[in-house]
């Protein structure tokens, strides 16, 4: 499944691949991001019509959309634009992924992150609330399915205990707080207005198409391809729950499908994780081994304002949605390495 053309992946949608999403129009915000591209792929393969809204389509970090996505340039904070799209295009499903996703920039400029992530989320939710019966605000009519992306970071530091959805959200850092507020906004619109919205809280995502080189997996792969020692900013001991982006995308689509059919899960959050918890140094060493490299990482040991250890329980998604990750760490990393090797070779 690994791609070799620098895009998230063109999709050939034939009659045999069209599924029960046929006839549905889906709006993905943040479609130029890593997860957005893979969610679009999943939906196209299931027969949906996909509109991709993003303000950063022309950014050097933007993911090339799969063939079949209708690209729309726009900011999610532009509520009139969103309302116009929802009413004019008869959109069935909204998947809200747009966000400033990097921890470092969030610490350096919290206001920008809060604006993008919090204001952007209430703008999307408010547009959805008013999309059906104009002025009624009952959330019924137009948009039948909404998924909002929160993050496992919203839980804050649980001292190594597994994150479970019933736990309180206790973030302390700007990015984490922005996602917690996004999460609470979605819950509010679900419980108060009956909006058919559910929330994802994913572990650390990785996969082909992520061009944020400050992240450990793409950064390490690029370093090895360029025969440079990979750099670890921390002391390498931070533990994360890693999830291959293709599995996360399948979870997002499964949740979108479920929230349209099961009104009782409106306002509910679902964790998605593979249950593979690794320290950063181990992730780097696995990549080096898979790439046949003898390079040694440079460990800077910087004092980072990040959660030391994260563990995510995906028991609810397994039980309610029947979701399971389809990739092992090794298979996911191998596909990811293949993608970047091809991309970087062509970009050279």
pLDDT above 90 for 142: no
The predicted structure's pLDDT at residue 264 = 92
The CATH class that applies to domain 15-205+243-275+311-327 reads alpha beta
Active site residues: 175
Name the average pLDDT for the chain.
Answer: 90
Please list the helix, strand and coil fractions of the chain in percent, rounded to the nearest 5, in that order: 40, 15, 45
| Cβ atoms within 10 Å of 124's Cβ, excluding its own | 29
- DSSP secondary structure letters along 33-51: SHHHHHHHHHHHHTT-EEE
Q: How many residues does the chain have?
A: 348
**pLDDT, tens digit, for every residue of 280-325?**
999 999 999 999 999 999 999 988 888 889 999 999 999 999 999 9
């Amino acid at each position: 499944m690994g791609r070799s053309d620098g895009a998230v992946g063109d999709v050939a949608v034939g009659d045999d691949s069209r599924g029960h999403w046929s006839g549905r129009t889906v709006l993905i915000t943040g479609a130029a991001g890593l997860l957005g591209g893979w969610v679009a792929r999943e939906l196209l393969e299931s027969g949906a019509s996909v509109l991709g809204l993003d303000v950063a389509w022309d950014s050097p970090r933007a993911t090339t959309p799969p063939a079949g996505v209708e690209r729309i340039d726009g900011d999610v904070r532009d509520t009139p634009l969103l309302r116009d799209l929802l009413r004019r295009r008869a959109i069935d499903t909204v998947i809200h992924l747009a966000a400033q996703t990097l921890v470092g920039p969030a610490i350096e400029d919290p206001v920008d992150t809060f604006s993008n992530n919090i204001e952007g989320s209430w703008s999307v939710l408010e547009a959805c609330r008013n999309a059906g019966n104009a002025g009624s605000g009952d959330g019924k009519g137009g948009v039948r399915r909404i998924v909002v992306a929160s993050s496992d970071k919203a839980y804050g530091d649980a001292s190594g205990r597994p994150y479970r959805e019933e736990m309180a959200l206790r973030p302390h850092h700007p990015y984490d707080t922005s996602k917690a507020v996004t999460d609470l906004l979605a819950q509010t619109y679900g419980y108060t207005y009956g909006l058919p919205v559910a929330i994802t809280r994913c572990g650390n995502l990785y996969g082909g198409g992520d061009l944020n080189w400050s992240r450990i997996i793409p950064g390490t792969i690029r370093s090895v391809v360029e025969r440079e020692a990979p750099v670890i900013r921390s002391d390498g001991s931070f533990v994360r729950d890693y999830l291959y982006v293709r599995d996360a995308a399948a979870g997002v689509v499964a949740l979108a499908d479920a929230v349209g059919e099961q009104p009782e899960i409106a306002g509910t959050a679902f964790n998605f994780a593979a249950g593979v918890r690794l320290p950063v140094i181990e992730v780097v060493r696995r990549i080096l081994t898979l790439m046949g490299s003898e390079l040694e990482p440079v460990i800077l040991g910087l004092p980072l304002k990040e959660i030391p250890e994260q563990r995510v329980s995906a028991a609810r998604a397994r039980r309610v949605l029947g979701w399971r990750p389809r990739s092992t760490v090794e298979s996911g990393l191998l596909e990811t390495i293949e993608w970047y090797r091809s991309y970087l070779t062509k970009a050279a």
